[in-house]
Amino acid sequence: MIEFRNFSFKYKNGEKNALSGINLSINKGDFVGVIGNSGAGKSTFTYAVNGVIPHHFEGDFYGEVIVNGEDTVEASPSKLALSVGSVFQDIDGQMVASVVEDELLFGLENFGVPHNEIETRISDILKMVGIEDLRYRNISTLSGGQKQKVAISAVVALMPDILVLDEPTAELDPQSSHQIFSMLRMLNEKMGITIIVVEQKIMLLSEFSKRLLIFNEGNIYLDGSPQEVLKDTSKLQEIGVNCPRVASLANILKDRKLYSGEVPVNIDGAEVMVRSIIK
């Protein structure tokens, strides 16, 4: 449902391609985690999915990006916004209203959702993500994690097929970050929304993603399930990406022939690994 065909992009004022020769398809319902160094092209990748490139940033666009059957160059930004919802790291910058309910209302009215449908949409989404109690709160009084939940709810209320998030937990503590990812998993599983999330915390990404994309210098360096991508610690170190500690430990134990199972991507997996070794 998302297809990159030989896609390259160079920003108007850029010195070199921000992304080069990207070929990729992402299936409906996938949960894709994106990681890589600063300047690797992660944000550029999200802009290519949601149409910010080419509709907002000028530059040299090569190849094709097809989202839900639409060529992003030809589709209008408003049409693309119907299928792709976007969430960013700057939590306050993406809020438009002062009260939670109005934040959701604003998007729904803007997208022309019929009035008799709006109330159900708002109450359903707030209930689903477990923030009904925040409905009448002033946004400025919420915690960072609560605000980000509101921002995501406002986008999800528009029922996009795809949700693109660029470092949504950058301003959040570990516990709130985990809650945001749990919320994304629920939206992925219950509503079938395709998730594409850029995130620096690799442990979170590997725990929640079904597929990991590692970007390096404008290219896709590794692409596969977390277990596949994390099975070579040194390959990640080569480009300065840290492997989660449980995965590094598994790789060391494998090298020493003490373990031969799957690379664990969460604490439960680590426990299974340790128990199998103790046996």
Residues that bind ligand ATP (CB under 6 A): 11, 13-14, 18, 36, 38-44, 57
Q: How far is the CB of 206 from ligand ATP (least distance, A)?
A: 18
Question: Is 72 a residue that touches Mg ion (CB under 5 A)?
Answer: no
Q: How far is the CB of 236 from ligand ATP (least distance, A)?
A: 16
Q: How far is the CB of 153 from ligand ATP (least distance, A)?
A: 24
User: How far apart (Å, rounded) are the C-alpha atoms in residues 155 and 151?
Assistant: 7
> What mask of x and - would describe binding to Mg ion in positions 17 to 46, judged by CB under 5 A?
-------------------------xx---
| Residue 4: alpha-carbon gap to chain centroid | 17
Q: How far is the CB of 256 from ligand ATP (least distance, A)?
A: 34
Q: How far is the CB of 11 from ligand ATP (least distance, A)?
A: 3
Which of 67, 65, 95 shows the shortest CA–CA distance to 82?
A: 67
Helix spans in 129-238 (H): 144-156, 174-191, 202-208, 226-229, 233-238
CA dihedral of 13, 94, 187, 171, whole degrees rounded to 10 = 80
**40 binding partner (options Mg ion, ligand ATP, none; Cβ < 5 to 8 Å by kind):** ligand ATP
User: How far apart (Å, rounded) are the C-alpha atoms in residues 103 and 266?
Assistant: 35
Which of 41, 133, 61, 51 shows the shortest CA–CA distance to 85?
A: 51
Q: Which is nearer to Mg ion, 146 or 148 (CB)?
A: 148
**240 binding partner (options Mg ion, ligand ATP, none; Cβ < 5 to 8 Å by kind):** none
Question: Is 50 a residue that touches Mg ion (CB under 5 A)?
Answer: no
Chain length of the chain = 279
Residues facing 32 on adjacent strands: 196, 211
Site for Mg ion in 173-232 (CB under 5 A): none
Q: What's the maximum distance between 2 C-alpha atoms anywhere in the chain?
A: 64
Q: Which is nearer to ligand ATP, 52 or 249 (CB)?
A: 52
Question: Is 94 a residue that touches Mg ion (CB under 5 A)?
Answer: no
Q: What residues make contact with Mg ion under the rule CB under 5 A?
A: 42-43
